[in-house]
Amino acid sequence: MDIDVLGALAVRENGVSITPTAPKPRQVLALLALHADQVVPVAALIEELWAASPPRSARTTLQTYVLQLRELIATALEKDEPTGEDDGPRRCAKDVLVTSPGGYLLNSGGGTSDVREFERLAGLGYRAMDAEDYPGAARKLREGLSLWTGAPFADVLTGAQLEMEARRLDESRLCALDQRIEADLRLGRHRELLAELTVLTSRYRTHESLHAQFMLALYRSGRRGEALDVYQRLRTTLVRDLGLEPSVRLRRLQHSILMATTEAPLSPSAPQAAQPRPDAAGGERLARVG
């Protein structure tokens, strides 16, 4: 089974799409696909479909959606051409979408998952950053980020569970993006980053790390005044929207740019500060960014 959720939902069994068009079965498949090979509790599926107001028939209706998914899976499995060899019993739909005590499990059969591959590549990138292998880090993180084709579950009507998972995935992507930019800065690619950081700082108007990176890229490109303008715009937004001043790290970076000259460029380590990021297992650890 091949699973894509980092953009439009696409789930294929034996190369055949098993993604339903009806909104609620699509929601069920999206949640099962995200947690492939793990049991998703019935309660979580019901909350996803109906939030805090499930109908009395919620469990029966959920079973109906599961049956509809199994019909699509069965059709896909029929496309599996026999090899003539004794490969043991062929899988049936119930082997793929498994009923387990308290929930359901989508058995990927060792297939691909864009989320798993992204997390694997991001983990390799983070470890390369820790080892100061900046070319390797940039390469792995860029490869992982290339798996994203849009917002998670872009074409799925999302409920509470999928909304929460989408936010988690977006945060993981932003963390990987932050570290990839950091690696590129350390490789002297400041001019190449300007266009990308212009867009990112417009989209994430209070994200201090991205603004710090934009300031450094501008400064190292000989655009000192514009680097200071970025700081002033960020400060205005933070004070107006959040009632906060920029962090000590940002203020120090601004001061460094004010006092520095183009003949004495800022050290890559000058604006660093400890920031949390998810490791390959999904937990948090500290990474130095800036």
* Token pair recorded at residue 216: 């450094």
Encode pLDDT of 271-282 as tens digits: 443 344 444 333
Chain mean pLDDT for the chain: 88
Quote the pTM value: 0.83
pLDDT grade for 91, boundaries at 50, 70 and 90: confident
pLDDT at 270 over 50: no
Q: How far is CA 175 from the centre of its chain?
A: 9
pLDDT grade for 80, boundaries at 50, 70 and 90: low
- The owner of tokens 């890229």 is 217
pLDDT grade for 83, boundaries at 50, 70 and 90: low
| Domains along the sequence of the chain with CATH | 2-111 (1.10.10.10), 188-290 (1.25.40.10)
Encode pLDDT of 34-50 as tens digits: 999 999 999 999 999 99
Q: How far apart are CA 123 and CA 143, in angstroms?
A: 12
pLDDT at 287 over 60: no
pLDDT at 78 over 90: no
Encode pLDDT of 99-131 as tens digits: 999 999 999 999 999 999 999 999 999 999 999
pLDDT grade for 86, boundaries at 50, 70 and 90: low
Q: What is the pLDDT of residue 52?
A: 85
> Do 181 and 216 meet the contact criterion of CB atoms below 8 Å apart?
no
Q: What number is the average pLDDT over the span 264-287?
A: 40
Alpha-carbon distances, residue 137 vs 143, 149, 233, 281 (angstroms): 10, 21, 30, 17
Q: What number is the average pLDDT over the span 65-84?
A: 84
